[in-house]
Amino acid sequence: MDLTYSPDELAFRDEVRGWLKANLPNEIRDKVVQYQHLAKEDLMRWHRILAAKGWSVPHWPQEWGGTGWDITQRYIFNEEFGLAGAPNIPNFGPHMCASVLMKFGTEEQKKRFLPNIRDGVDFWVQGYSEPGSGSDLASLKTRAERQGDHYLVNGQKIWTTLGHYGDWIFCLVRTDPNARIRQEGISFLLIDMKTPGITVRPLILMDGGHEVNEVFFEDVKVPVENLIFEENKGWTVAKYLLGHERMGSGNVGASKRELASLKALAAAEQKNGKPLMEDPRFRDRLTRVEVELQALELTSMRFLDKMRRTGQPPGADVSMLKLQGSQIQQWITELMMQALGPDAQPFMALDEGAVDGYRSRMAPRYFNYRKTSIYAGSNEIQRNIIAKASLGL
């Protein structure tokens, strides 16, 4: 087992690191590291910068604009993003919808949609969850009735991340309400968000941010050519898509950057006239998080080594990356809240200094990061997967 990088891989890491330092706009990086709101224009601007370099979709086949990098190079690229404070391009288009199109789409669908996803022209969002149909996704009720050359869609989606930015949305809809098994009778549709009958309403979270939405469909006409794969076979597409979320969910690079910020904060903050870092209870908690992060990084490298030796995707035990990665992110936010104390509360900064901007966003960020134990499969589900598939319990 090799848990190190080769000289060529280290050279590639330095190339990526240098390019990010030179090309990541300071104002976008500042928003990321200070936990400020990223507008659609920020995300699309960064997407287009990457696209101009040819790095917007490194995991794609080269025929569609991919880089031809191997799995190790792609892993290094993602980790350097986190370390640099670069915003990730939202997964919905480049990772999720694109993977579905490449696996199940027709040549016409690929030619129509993939170039605009690659170049940052269209912003995609996901329409899966519904009221009462989150973890039990197969119980969804949004209907799509075929009427000649189009479907008529009626229903509601909820918790649609960045739905207010969306140009297009991919949706699971029920096309056969009389199917014997719930997973049958579901189809996968691509829907233009500008179509009449679509209403997007914000859901304001406890951190005060507008990140998620509810989306209503009222007699929305969707051309039949926007159906992916076969009618009533959308569950097959959905299962394939969900399998693409796990390997990068540890977020090691971003957590290492956040941990460095936490250490600097603990060295500056005072408790009883001494730096907080000298408090044994706080230092013990911080050290434990650092050890867990190091273990997560080594575990990620172990999966990476296996993938590059065998050429096979990781098994069910890759769920431990998502499980531990989300916990570490939450532990870091908790320690930052403890370090700042009352200053962690939101307040209007009197100047534009990094410290004031940083502090004014800490409590909202803490609240927002409660979601990490739910998205990409809840931590409880990940434990079940590990127990059943890896431990045989």
Q: Which residues contact 274 (CB under 8 A, 6 or more apart)?
A: none
CA 213 centroid distance within chain: 16
Radius of gyration of the chain (CA): 22
DSSP 130: B
10 Å Cβ neighbour count for 241?
Answer: 21
Q: What is the rounded distance in angstroms from the CA atom of residue 326 to the CA atom of residue 255? A: 10
Q: What is the rounded distance in angstroms from the CA atom of residue 69 to the CA atom of residue 77? A: 10
- Active-site residue, from 145, 184, 245, 292: 245
Q: What is the rounded distance in angstroms from the CA atom of residue 282 to the CA atom of residue 262? A: 11
Q: What is the rounded distance in angstroms from the CA atom of residue 233 to the CA atom of residue 186? A: 6
Task: List the one residue out of 240, 216, 1 whose CA is nearest residue 97.
Answer: 240
| Residue/partner pairs of 99-105 with CB below 8 Å, 24 or more apart | 99/240, 99/241, 99/244, 100/170, 100/188, 100/228, 100/237, 100/240, 100/241, 101/228, 102/60, 102/61, 102/64, 103/237, 103/240, 104/188, 104/228, 104/229, 104/237, 104/240, 105/228
155: region left, alpha or beta (phi > 0 left; psi from -120 to 50 alpha): left
> What is the pairing mode between strands 274-275 and 198-204?
unpaired
Catalytic annotation present for 245: yes
Q: What is the rounded distance in angstroms from the CA atom of residue 276 to the CA atom of residue 83? A: 25
Cα 43–48–51 angle (5° rounding)? 125
Q: What is the rounded distance in angstroms from the CA atom of residue 292 to the CA atom of residue 324? A: 8
Q: Which two tokens stand for residue 151?
A: 């479907």
- Contact between residue 325 and residue 249 where contact means Cβ atoms under 8 Å apart: yes
- Contact between residue 100 and residue 234 where contact means Cβ atoms under 8 Å apart: no
Catalytic site positions: 245
